[in-house]
Structure 1
Amino acid sequence: MPSVPERVLTLIEASGLTRREFGQRIGLDESKMSKSLGGARRFSSVDLARIAELCKVTVDWLITGEEPPLALAARTTSGDAGVALDAAKRYSTLRTDMAALGYPQPWQARTLGLGKGGYAEQGRSLAREALARISEAGRSIAVGNLVALIEAVFGADVAVVELGAGFDGLAASSEHVKLIVLATSHVPARQRFTLAHELGHLLAEDDQDVHLDRDIYDKAQAKDPSELRANAFASAFLMPEDRLRAAVGSSGLTEHTFAALACDLMVTPSALAYRLLHLRLIDAGTCDRYKAITASKAAAIVGRGEEFAQRVTEARTPRPPGPLVRDTYAAYEAGTATLRPYANLLGIDVDELRHALESEHGTHDVP
């Protein structure tokens, strides 16, 4: 099996650069480059990070020679799914590199089994465990940003990317990566359901490489057991049974209280109506009446139009994975990585960012 120096040599040959030029690009003088390629000196973690950046490979590949399945999928898939996979590859590559540099994914796997019963019941059981962990952390799914909550409590990387129509999201999972990629959307409740759905895939440990969801509402997905489980998880996770039973109480729901509940839980009225029907908290006629209400109409009924508009704005805004942003900056501060990965995540020119950071160190608070 080829060694690290041998893999670097193949990259040098493919780059069209001389060894001296390649060394200059990664910050190594001719002597160090020669010794590293000859085996007398080991490539440092910073060397490997710079080589990975320059040649668009992973540090993990440089060390092991193994290419993750996600990289292959990204090269062979086109359209909106291809764009999503390309984004997932970039984030997964960087996360794998961070793990190699001592910044592993803070993923919190499930502590219990999937439970007994069918796939739908497994999804609901998984949701109960997930909600218990959120409660233990002093958080609530109905308060604040769900993306930030999932990153904080479960340790997943969550990215929101402009993917175009026809693609909802994906979940990517490997030894070092737990990633969710969501499409920007003008329907925040759909994006929220997709997020919960993909979290369900990760917690259930479905598809240990990559799981694509072009349309989470496609009825054909119900034929796939893992999709059935992920949908059941998302429904129970976003609309907890105890919360719904307390809201209905002994007096039932009016159109106003139903609309308020949909806004509180940040779900579509149709999803809430079906969930209430499934729990036998409303009848079929009431379900038909409530599911006809749109999310914007529900917000208008309870005077929360401004809040709804803000949620639409947030759902349409791209964002890089929060934990990955934190770790790339920490690696830069520690001197184990360059500033470029952090700058790339933020979408900022690395030289401009370096200048801004250096200028900030020279400022003082004005009384």
Structure 2
Amino acid sequence: MDTTIGSRVRTILQEQGLTQKELAHKVGMPADALSRALNGVRGFGSLEIVQLADELGVEVYWLITGKEDPNRLQVAARHAYDHGTSTYSNRSASDDTGVLRDIQVAYQQACPSEPLPASRLPADAVELRQALAGPDGVRRFADVVEARFEVDVVRIREVGTDYAMSIGGRAVVVLRETANWFYENWSLAHELGHLVDGDDCATTSANAAAERAANRFAAEVLLPADEMKRLQDVTEATQLGSLLWDWGVSTAAVRIRAEALGLELRPTVRGWLETPTVQFLRATAMPDRWAEIAERRREATARRFPAFICDAHERGITEGRLGASTLAWMLGVDEDAVEVSRPDTQRLSVQELAAAFGTSLA
């Protein structure tokens, strides 16, 4: 039975056909030091634990405890559609994996001793749309889903695409920073569609049916058929601009949705919908509201992590349980810029690392 870190490492070495010497070389440990640690003669350093977990392809939590992480990570990715091959793919998956793991670690550090509060997903697109009803509902999309459904929204520039994740029972949507609020709104609705449908997609390939279903969900949330009929009464660019602004979507999304619904639109409206969104708004529909357009673009580029995660990290720093590096990363600032009182810190022992994950080696 694998009751120690050493025994678990030896089991994985046997399963993967690796020798202790090969593993020691991969993680940068002297072979005799690894041998002594595996046999319980010396302890593992905290950094060694992390490096071993990375190299062996296991979670730090499992390597320390032998138990499944209650806040384990499951990912469903948004994939780009290739019209030439009629397939979906995610070319940034390998680069994004480490970033998604960093997000998971931030959550684990924030809630080390108990499962994260579970999300309550909307039952369907209708319930989500109803939650967005009201002034600026779509503009506050991320705030609404966090408040109503406890689905967290992270916005960062380090990922190449958008992701829907589950960390334990907590649903998290990761959005790539973009100046295009309309793209972000569609992405958020799309990823929520994956979560509502319970998709658990690989990060390098995609189920085309699942992607189409997520797009249908997004369309039903942001551009329901009854609302789209208003386009048939549009005669002025300002009218179309107001609809786009309130709906929070792109000209391309509206054009594609109108085609799917078989709506007959005036030629001038079809022409406007062929124009890039910001260009149409600034030059044609809303030329006197350029400052509002600029502000909405700025909002879509603001780095974002849930407030409760940042708050938990601040408390952890002041209590001496956490360093400031993760919080600095979440805030997008240098570690020295994190103005939180920090007690004198020492290098973590393996026991302290285990405690940070809410467990004990005893």
Which category describes the TM-score, using the shorter chain as reference length?
A: 0.5 to 0.7
> Which residue does 2:154 correspond to in 1?
159
Q: Which whole-Å CA distance do the structure 2 matches of 1:264 and 1:182 have between them?
A: 21
> Which residue does 2:209 correspond to in 1?
225
Judging changes above 3 Å, is the alpha-carbon distance between structure 1 residues 343 and 293 closer, same or farther for their aligned structure 2 residues? Answer: closer
> Which residue does 1:89 correspond to in 2?
101
> Which residue does 2:340 correspond to in 1?
357
Shift of 1:134: 4.2
Unaligned runs of 5+ in 2: 11-23, 31-39, 78-88, 343-362
**Structure 1, residues 169-226: CA drift from partner, whole Å, max 9, x if none?**
222235344232222234332233222211211121111x65569xxxxxxx8x8111
Aligned residue pair count: 301
2:197 matches 1:185 = no
> Which residue does 1:292 correspond to in 2?
274
2:127 matches 1:171 = no
Q: Which whole-Å CA distance do the structure 2 matches of 1:60 and 1:153 have between them?
A: 33
Structure 2 counterpart of 1:237, from 214, 218, 221: 221
Shift of 1:230: 0.5
- Secondary structure, aligned partner of 2:92: helix
Shift of 1:248: 5.1
Of stretches 190-199 and 285-294 in structure 1, the one that deviates more from structure 2 is 285-294
Structure 2 counterpart of 1:313, from 298, 317, 322: 298
Structure 2 counterpart of 1:304, from 289, 314, 333: 289
> Which residue does 1:2 correspond to in 2?
2
Q: How does 1:48-127 map to 2 (within 5 A)?
A: 58-59=60-61, 61-64=63-66, 66=68, 80-102=92-114, 104-110=116-122, 112=123, 126-127=124-125
Structure 2 counterpart of 1:272, from 246, 249, 254: 254
Shift of 1:310: 2.4
2:134 matches 1:150 = no
Name the TM-score, length of structure 2 as normaliser: 0.64
Equivalent pair of 2:73/2:104 in contact (CA under 8 Å): no
Judging changes above 3 Å, is the alpha-carbon distance between structure 1 residues 69 and 335 closer, same or farther for their aligned structure 2 residues? Answer: closer
Choose between structure 1 and 2: higher helix proportion. 1
Equivalent pair of 1:263/1:298 in contact (CA under 8 Å): no
Equivalent pair of 1:59/1:100 in contact (CA under 8 Å): no
Judging changes above 3 Å, is the alpha-carbon distance between structure 1 residues 314 and 205 closer, same or farther for their aligned structure 2 residues? Answer: same
Equivalent pair of 1:101/1:336 in contact (CA under 8 Å): no
Judging changes above 3 Å, is the alpha-carbon distance between structure 1 residues 157 and 260 closer, same or farther for their aligned structure 2 residues? Answer: same
> Which residue does 1:325 correspond to in 2?
310
Equivalent pair of 2:177/2:303 in contact (CA under 8 Å): yes
Residue identity matched to 2:149: F
Q: How does 1:26-37 map to 2 (within 5 A)?
A: none
Residue identity matched to 1:130: L
CA RMSD of aligned residues (A): 4.6
Name the TM-score, length of structure 1 as normaliser: 0.63
**Structure 1, residues 223-269: CA drift from partner, whole Å, max 9, x if none?**
81111110011122122445445x558x5453320122112222111
